[in-house]
Amino acid sequence: MAASERILGVEGGGTKTAWALVERVTDGLRVVDQGKLPSSNFRLTPPDRLRFIFHQLPQKVDRVGMFLAGCGADDRHSLEMLCAEIWPSAKIVAGSDRNSGLAAALGRGDGIAVNAGTGASVTGRRGERIEKAGGWGHILGDAGGGYFLSVQALRLILREYDLHRGEAQFTASILRALSLNSRDELVRWAQTADKMEIATLSPIVFEAARNGDSNVVRIIEEGAEVLSEYTAAVASRLGLLAPKVILLGGLFKRDSLYVAAFRRKLKKNLSDARVAMSEQSPELGAAWLAAELEERTTFSFETRGAETENLARALTEQRNPRSENLEKLSTQGLVELFVDEEKFVQEALRKEVGALARGIEIVTKALHKGGRLFYVGAGTSGRLGVLDASEIPPTFGASPEMVQGVVAGGVSALHRSVEGAEDEPGGGALAIEERGVTGADIVCGISASGRTPFVLGALAGAKKRGAQTILLTCNPTRIRTEAFELEIDLATGPEILTGSTRLKAGTATKIALNILSTGAMVALGRVRGNLMVDLAITNEKLRDRAARLVMEFGKCDYVEACERLQKNGWNLRATLRQDSTLGDGM
């Protein structure tokens, strides 16, 4: 086997598709790259989407280990054939995520792997014999996984409310996490949420247990109890009296509370078991299986200093000398500093007036021809894009499809951080594919540093589809590796709080988006003078505003204005057009 042989290991589950690219070295395998993509389940994910996900993975490889949830023994050949379409020259090894988890936990040795993530499963081996428990899917099984715990917690909220009007604090925590306002809204959300969305509530469940909520503690204990019973049953069937039990998955990895609960329960069911956390992740287990090694090996990791150095050089990451003693300032001094720093926002915008004007022209031309504008960002940048896009329909009466926001991590990222969502360019490309971007559209990537992988991946995907691209950044000194139709660089400088780009960079970005979208809507004729004549009249405030506009242009009183609007179905433009004094402008 050549020393330069490249091996791709992939483990796909209900929450994510994790991958690692490794190379063989003299003392084992070296990880040269790794990442995460959206979930992939062989039974639940359509083949075309699997193909697209696979296309986002490294392509120049000699071996591929592809191990997906939902892939049974009868499915392996189909998965191998699908992989062969993507990597025709590579040697393919395929199977279930149980296989990669077992390899990561035990290599080819005997023992039991307990995996608790979105779902949960227990897999044991003794010699050539394999025994399994759990892992039947979220409808009938997966007890002990994140979905199971979260559903039990949601049921607890409603049960305790019905019986005792209880669990107010835990209910508030769940509502806060989901940005919902009532139990009724929570029920409606749960009725449409998929298993991954529900499973993401598990950190809130564990937080409540750590804070001493006895009802929630019982849910955690129940999950640990089920997994310990499965483990004991597998050990019994295999005849393992003192098995090595290795824990994998996000629940065990993130929360020591669950590890402790499992250890405690297993002690009662299998007192001599030796419990430990897995030293390797399942995607490394997948790579190890693809390498077809007989013995377990060590993995070394290649440093990625260049990328870290590029970020460190970003203007937004520099320390601001004017705020180095921030904690020592008086309250008034802090406010004065914030106000003073805003002048850099104005200066940055003024320097880019020409680019912003060009941006309006590009966007207007695309929208006029029936195209759409997509904002793409991560974190604050993504939220600002979604915010601006969401304001277009009510302000200008435009279709929600005309201007859309795409944020790394999806809707959950609008109200809480989604771990690692911005780090994978393939995720951005997938988002562009899912939205059906075409050559008629325009995609505006928003990234304070100008280097966010999710954003750059989305822009690259848009260019492949023939769409026009804009990159909006606050880092004019960045290294430029791609060319776009337009680049807008707002030099807002170092933040008061180092690296917190929700401050000046966020303010400047919001204003820039205001300019682009409002300028395009003005050019498209959705404004008369400085009046919103196409606004969507959806509440009392807007009905009053519309009536006052009709009073002004129609020379009538308030009652008659409301009557005219009612006759036109509260369509302001149609009502105003009936007044001959407005001419052809409406």
* Catalytic annotation, residues: 391, 422
The candidate with the shortest Cα–Cα distance to 348, out of 236, 155, 510, is 510
Query: Contact 142/119 with Cβ under 8 angstroms?
Result: yes
Count of C-beta atoms within a 10 Å radius of residue 376:
33
DSSP 1-45: --TT-EEEEEEE-SS-EEEEEEEEETTEEEEEEEEEES--BTTTS
CA distance linking residue 438 with residue 426, whole number of Å: 18
Measure the CA–CA gap between 28 and 328, rounded to whole angstroms: 52
Q: Helices 379-396 and 504-523: crossing angle, nearest 10°?
A: 30
Strand partners, 489: 473
DSSP annotation of 583 reads: G
Q: Are 171 and 225 in contact (CB under 8 A)?
A: no
DSSP codes, 39-100 = --BTTTS-HHHHHHHHHTS--S-SEEEEEEBT--GGGHHHHHHHHHHH-TTSEEEEEEHHHH
Q: Which residues contact 563 (CB under 8 A, 6 or more apart)?
A: none
Output the CA angle 539-544-549, nearest 5 degrees. Answer: 125
Q: At what angle do helices 331-351 and 504-523 cross, to 10 degrees?
A: 40
Measured CA to CA in angstroms, residue 266 lies from 217, 322, 516 at distances of: 17, 57, 60
Count of CB atoms situated within 10 Å of the CB of 346: 13
d(Cα 192, Cα 201) in Å, to the nearest integer? 15
Closest CA to 285 of 136, 479, 109, 421: 109
Helices (H), 435-539: 453-464, 504-523
> Could you give the CA distance from residue 437 to residue 374 in angstroms, rounded to a whole number?
9
Which tokens hold the place of 143? 């007890």
CB 29 within 8 A of CB 291: yes
